[in-house]
């Protein structure tokens, strides 16, 4: 099992035991997941070394660009989707499945995710709050009608740009663009769950992107415990009762085995 390079095997094992104890003793646990859960399924991250934002200009996907130049926005968005998907058909990995097991065993109340790939739902998680929306759908910017993203992107890839809804409005990927606010209802529910939980388990997130990065402090300020599971240090480690520097696809199944 990959562990932090500064930790001995004994320290790593003791942290897994401590994490299992935290989950076992909590009456309410919420998990916040980030890109580190998706990359194990072959989905490239946006930030960090070799991230997609090194290859694409983030401002090309700003709300202002969508409004001012929907044709150019969609041409670039098709290229971005191709870079994300490539020839892959991403499937849930061991971390996704472990969270399903925790939920089924009554140890997990909800998954709050920054990811837009839909893999938590594919894995079988029942209560998933997608803070940044989902790339599985598009939404009409005029009438609000939602549709499956795949055929719309296929139309856009064959020069039907911008793709339009039957009402005549322009479709937009059903994700939160730069310059847009998170869905108010989803964010409000995530904040409520965070305030009320005994344990917030932050998994595979750098905890650097607001407003999701504010959830750990919200949990701690409300009296809950925070556990951070991420291969690299995060901006909220100082708030954590426990920080585990390991591969999420190895740690979460190992914790499930301990419960």
Q: What is the mean pLDDT of residues 79-97?
A: 84
Question: What is the per-residue pLDDT across 139-186, written as a single tens digit (0 to 9) for each?
Answer: 999 999 999 999 999 999 998 999 999 999 999 999 999 999 999 999
Dist. CA 235–CA 219, nearest whole Å: 15
Integer CA distances (angstroms), 31 to 93, 131, 184, 200, in order:
16, 13, 19, 6
Q: Where in the chain is the domain with CATH 3.30.1600.10?
A: 46-87+135-175
Nearest-CA neighbor of 126 among 90, 148, 147, 96? 96
Dist. CA 258–CA 241, nearest whole Å: 19
Alpha-carbon Rg of the chain, whole angstroms? 19
At residue 192, what are phi and psi to the nearest 5 degrees? -65, -50
Q: Where in the chain is the domain with CATH 3.40.50.1220?
A: 1-43+91-132+182-259
| pLDDT confidence band for 44 (50 / 70 / 90) | confident
Question: What is the per-residue pLDDT across 217-228, written as a single tens digit (0 to 9) for each?
Answer: 999 999 999 999
- Return mean pLDDT, the chain: 89
User: pLDDT at position 49, please?
Assistant: 63
Answer whether residue 231 shows pLDDT above 90. Answer: no
Q: Is the peptide bond before 107 cis (omega within 30 degrees of 0)?
A: no
The hierarchical CATH code for the domain 46-87+135-175 is 3.30.1600.10
User: pLDDT at position 7, please?
Assistant: 55
Half-sphere exposure of 235 (CA within 13 A, CB side): 11
User: pLDDT at position 3, please?
Assistant: 42
Contact between 191 and 218 (Cβ < 8 Å): yes
Burial class (CB in 10 A: 0-12, 13-18, 19+), 229: buried
Strands (E), 132-230: 133-140, 146-148, 171-175, 199-203, 225-229
Residue of 22, 96, 120, 132 with catalytic role? 132
Answer whether residue 66 shows pLDDT above 50. Answer: yes
Question: What is the per-residue pLDDT across 102-118, written as a single tens digit (0 to 9) for each?
Answer: 999 999 999 999 999 99
**Protein fold of 1-43+91-132+182-259:** Rossmann fold (3.40.50)
DSSP per residue over 127-139, as a string?
A: SEEETTEEEEEEE
Name residue 32's beta-bridge partners.
112, 202
Q: Look up tokens 């409000």; give the residue.
A: 188
Answer whether residue 55 shows pLDDT above 90. Answer: no
Q: Is 132 a residue of the active site?
A: yes
């Amino acid at each position: 099992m990959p562990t932090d390079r500064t930790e001995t095997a004994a320290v790593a094992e003791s942290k897994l035991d401590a994490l299992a104890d935290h989950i076992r003793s909590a009456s309410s646990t919420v998990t916040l997941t980030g890109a580190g859960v998706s990359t194990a399924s072959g989905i490239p991250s946006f930030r960090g070394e070799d991230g997609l934002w090194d290859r694409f200009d983030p401002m090309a996907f700003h709300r202002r660009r969508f409004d001012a130049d929907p044709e150019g926005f969609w041409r670039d968005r098709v290229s971005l989707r191709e870079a994300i998907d490539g020839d892959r058909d991403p499937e849930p990995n061991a971390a996704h499945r472990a969270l399903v097991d925790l939920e089924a065993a009554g140890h997990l109340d909800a998954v709050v995710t920054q990811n837009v790939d839909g893999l938590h739902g594919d894995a079988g998680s029942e209560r998933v709050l997608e803070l940044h929306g989902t790339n599985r759908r598009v939404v009409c910017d005029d009438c609000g009608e939602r549709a499956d993203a795949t055929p719309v992107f296929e139309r856009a890839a064959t020069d039907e740009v911008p793709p339009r809804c039957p009402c005549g409005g322009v479709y937009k990927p059903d994700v939160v663009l730069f310059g847009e606010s998170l869905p108010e209802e989803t964010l409000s529910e995530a904040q409520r769950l965070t305030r009320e939980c005994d344990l917030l388990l932050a998994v595979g997130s750098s905890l650097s992107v607001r407003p999701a990065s504010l959830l750990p402090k919200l949990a701690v300020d409300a009296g809950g415990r925070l556990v951070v599971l991420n291969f690299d240090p995060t901006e909220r480690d100082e708030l954590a009762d426990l920080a585990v520097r390991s591969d999420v696809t190895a740690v979460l199944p190992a914790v499930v085995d301990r419960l």
